[in-house]
Each structure stands twice: as C-alpha cells, then as structure tokens.
C-alpha cells in the first residue's frame, strides 16, 4: 500500500472497502494518471481498472465547478456498475457522480446534470444530451474511454469521435481496453497525447481454472446442461448462449427442471436486467443464463462455473467469457457443450494454443423434454414437435 499515495479520504475508502493491496493495473497506471499523463491500460474485466482511473480522478475533482470528468462506457450495466463503484470510492468526499444512459426517462438526468462533477455515460445518451444542450463538457479535464474495444465493436466509434469534439483539447485522456483493435489505434493516434501504454496480465488464475468440453448431439444438449447444473454442488454458474431468444428459452426450461435460473440479455428492460444481476449477486438465484452482454464489464464475483451452451465465435470472445471465474485465488471451471452447429466456432477458439481445453467423455444423464414454446417440446434432431392435426407451417391437413 506504500507504493501509491492517495488523499486521506480516498485511502480511508480504499481500506473500508476491504482492499488490502493494489492490483497490477492499479500499481502501474495510478501514478501515471496522477502525473497527468495520457494512459492506455490494456487489461481484462476483473483487473480492477475502475479503481485504477477512479481514485486519481477523484483526487483532481473540485466541488461545484461543473462536469470535470466524463467516463464513456459501452453498456447500461457497465454504466451503473462504474457509477456505483465511483460513489463507493468517493464516500468521504463531496463529489456528485451521475450515470447517464438510455432506456430510462431523460428528464431526471436533465435535472441532475447541472450539479454533476463526474458523468458516467453511454455514447448514445450523451449525444442526446449534447443535442438538447443539457450537458456542458467544456470543463472536462479527464476523459475516460472504458471497454473501448467493446464500445467500437458495438458501432459507437463515430459517436465517440463526435463527443470528443465537445471536450476541451487540453484534457487528459485515459483509454482502457481488453484488446487493442484497429479502431482503438485510430482513437489513440488522433485523440491522445504521447500516451503511456500499460499492459496487465489477466486476472484469471490459470492454475486454478480448468477448461473442458463435451461433444454432444444437438438433441441431447439441454439434457446434458441440466445434468451438469444439478450435479455441480454449491456456487454460482453462468450459462452463455448465442442469442436473446435462446437465453430466454434455456432459462425457462431450466426453471421447469427445478434449477434456480434467471435470464439476462440486452432485450430486457433496464429494471429487469438490474433485478437479475441483484438476485445473482445476492445468491437468490445460482444460475445466470446470459448473452454476451454479461461477459464484458459486469463485475460478478464468486462464479465457480462457466458453461458455454453455444460456443463463442473465437478465442477473444471465449477469453472474455471465462474471465468471470477463477478470480482472486478462487477455483473455477469452464465447460463448453459442443454440438454440430458449434464445430466451426469452437475450432476457431482452439486455434489459440494458449487455451488448455480438454475433451471429456460424456457422463450418463437423463434425457428430458425441451420446450421451445408453450407445450411445444423439441423432438429428435432439434425439430419442433407440433400437434398432429397441423401440417407444415401449421396448415390444416385435408379440407
């Protein structure tokens, strides 16, 4: 703790939050940020990067002098999470931290913006406020682009460029990203001043993370999933699916099998997504069925098992998913269920020779019905079984 000097109020918050030592990304970036340098921090979710930029930003904020820091994030969940973390860091300081994102009423945000000193926001809603002249970014002295690669993957690069044009040029710019893509390079080249690049190792403890896969027929995939979840014992699990619809269907079917599961994906309202995360955080449910929206940004602790119901498309997506487990000294397991439609994607994952994924023999498990809708179980080979009196597309036979 002697390596980094913080204001007494911030050091007190650091201690009260239960931190005992700094993470690698924090040790390497906080002194640079304190010196006013532009920083590129390459680190994966769970490395402690919110504290890495949060504490030095809070040191530089002056009360009642307008918005002095803007933190851009790709998703509503990350926006809320970063805001909550920043408020914890600032518990002994009088700093007004406001989250700005879409999907909720804009009026309350407009009312609170004049008092804000730090704004955490998603690009679309920030641009909305700029268009309405309800946000003033001319006093921003520290701009943060958090999860930059994810933000650009989601198509926000032009929005980010436009937002930057409203921020003073003599600002300090901090960029945090798990990977450094071509678009990230473009932002660095055009909008940062002599940045120092810091790369931290993954927070996942590879010695405590075991990675397996099962080769299973498509028609038995859900039965195997249900078996694995019911046999896993205690602890939290995340099941990743490729689409929103699959997330909903899998969660409902697991619930019918007595598995305490809840769904989260980008199609749910903000309140429902927040409730799902709160229930999972509070151990009220022990299985979170998720689209990749939950793989990035959300700081979900105590996850003992990740199951890829659908294979990620490549090793980069795979690494983002598995970063949710085997953290901070805990053991974790990753299981991928590989059926015929997954082969191409999973082969892409295995091209990364650094991933020690072992094939396991299928266990004995009970075949159970899989419903894709109300009272419509899946038949063999994944075909939906309709009532006998209906032909193709539900047309009546005869007549």
382 has a pLDDT exceeding 50: no
Ranked by mean pLDDT, which of 18-22, 83-87, 297-301, 302-306 comes out on top? Answer: 83-87
In the predicted structure, residue 296 carries a pLDDT above the cut 70: no
Mean of all residue pLDDT scores within the chain: 85
Are 238 and 306 contacting, i.e. CB atoms less than 8 angstroms apart? yes
Question: CA 268 to CA 77: how far, in whole Å?
Answer: 12
Q: Is 394 exposed, middle or buried (0-12, 13-18, 19+ CB in 10 A)?
A: exposed
Residue 15, number of CB atoms within 10 A of its CB: 11
Strand partners, 335: 212, 307
What residue segments make up the domains of the chain, in order of their start? 8-199, 206-382
More confident of the two residues 366 and 373: 366
Q: What was the pLDDT predicted at 202?
A: 58
| pLDDT tens per residue, range 215-268 | 999 999 999 999 999 887 778 899 999 999 999 999 999 999 999 999 988 788
The whole-angstrom separation of Cα 176 and Cα 144 is 8
The answer to whether 205 and 47 are in contact (CB under 8 A) is: no
Collapsing DSSP states into helix, strand and coil, what is residue 106? coil
71, β-bridge pairs: 120, 144
Fold designation for 206-382: Rossmann fold (3.40.50)
What are the tens digits of pLDDT across the range 6-64? 999 999 999 888 777 888 899 999 999 999 999 999 876 667 889 999 999 999 999 99
| Amino acid 383: pLDDT | 36
Higher-confidence position of 179 and 125: 125
Whole-number pLDDT of residue 2: 53
Report the alpha-carbon distance of residue 44 to residue 319 in Å, rounded: 9
Predicted confidence band at 297 (pLDDT cuts at 50, 70, 90)? low
Residue 207 neighbours by CB under 8 Å, 6+ apart: none
Tell me what pLDDT residue 392 has: 27
Q: Quick check: do 8-199 and 206-382 share a fold?
A: yes
Give the model's pLDDT for residue 284. 85
Sign of the C-alpha dihedral, residues 134, 188, 80, 128? positive
> At residue 396, does pLDDT exceed 80?
no
The structure's pTM equals: 0.64
Which is the CATH superfamily of the domain at 8-199?
P-loop containing nucleotide triphosphate hydrolases (3.40.50.300)
**In angstroms, rounded to a whole number, what is the distance separating the alpha carbons of residues 34 and 36?**
5
pLDDT of 203 higher than 90: no
Residue-wise pLDDT for 157-190, tens only, equals 999 999 999 999 999 999 998 888 899 999 999 9
pLDDT of residue 1: 46
Rounded to whole angstroms, the Cα distance separating 374 from 89 reads 47
């Amino acid at each position: 703790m002697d390596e980094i000097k913080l204001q007494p109020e911030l050091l007190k918050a650091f201690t009260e939050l239960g931190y005992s030592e700094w993470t690698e990304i924090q040790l390497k970036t906080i002194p640079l940020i304190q010196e006013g340098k532009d920083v590129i921090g390459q680190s994966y979710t769970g490395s402690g990067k919110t504290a890495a930029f949060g504490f030095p930003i809070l040191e530089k904020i002056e009360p009642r002098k307008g918005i002095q820091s803007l933190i851009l994030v790709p998703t509503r969940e990350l926006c809320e999470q970063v805001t909550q973390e920043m408020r914890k860091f600032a518990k002994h300081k009088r700093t007004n931290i406001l989250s700005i994102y879409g999907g909720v009423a804009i009026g309350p945000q407009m009312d609170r913006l004049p008092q804000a000193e730090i704004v955490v926001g998603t690009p679309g809603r920030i641009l909305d406020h700029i268009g309405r002249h309800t946000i003033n970014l001319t006093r921003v002295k520290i701009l943060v682009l958090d999860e930059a690669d994810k933000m650009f993957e989601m198509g926000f690069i032009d929005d980010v460029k436009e937002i930057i044009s409203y921020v003073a040029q003599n600002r300090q710019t901090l960029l945090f990203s798990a990977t450094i893509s071509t678009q990230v390079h473009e932002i660095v080249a055009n909008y940062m001043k002599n940045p120092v690049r810091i790369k931290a190792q993954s927070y996942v403890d590879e010695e405590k993370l075991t990675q397996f896969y099962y080769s299973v027929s498509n028609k038995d995939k859900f039965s195997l999933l249900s078996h694995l979840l019911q046999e896993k014992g205690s602890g939290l699990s995340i099941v990743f699916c490729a689409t929103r619809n699959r997330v909903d269907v899998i969660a409902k079917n697991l619930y019918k099998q007595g598995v305490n599961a809840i769904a989260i994906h980008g199609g749910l309202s903000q309140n429902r997504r927040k409730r799902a995360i709160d229930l999972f955080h509070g151990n009220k449910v022990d299985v979170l069925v998720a689209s990749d929206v939950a793989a990035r940004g959300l700081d979900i602790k105590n996850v003992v098992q990740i199951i890829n119901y659908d294979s990620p498309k490549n090793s980069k997506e795979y690494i983002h998913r598995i970063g949710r487990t085997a953290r901070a000294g805990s053991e974790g397991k990753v299981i991928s269920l590989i059926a015929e439609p997954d082969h191409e994607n999973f082969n892409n994952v295995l091209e990364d020779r650094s991933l020690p994924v072992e094939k396991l023999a299928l266990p004995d498990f009970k075949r159970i019905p899989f419903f894709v809708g109300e009272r419509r179980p899946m038949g063999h080979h994944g075909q939906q079984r309709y009532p006998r009196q209906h032909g193709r597309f539900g047309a009546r036979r005869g007549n």
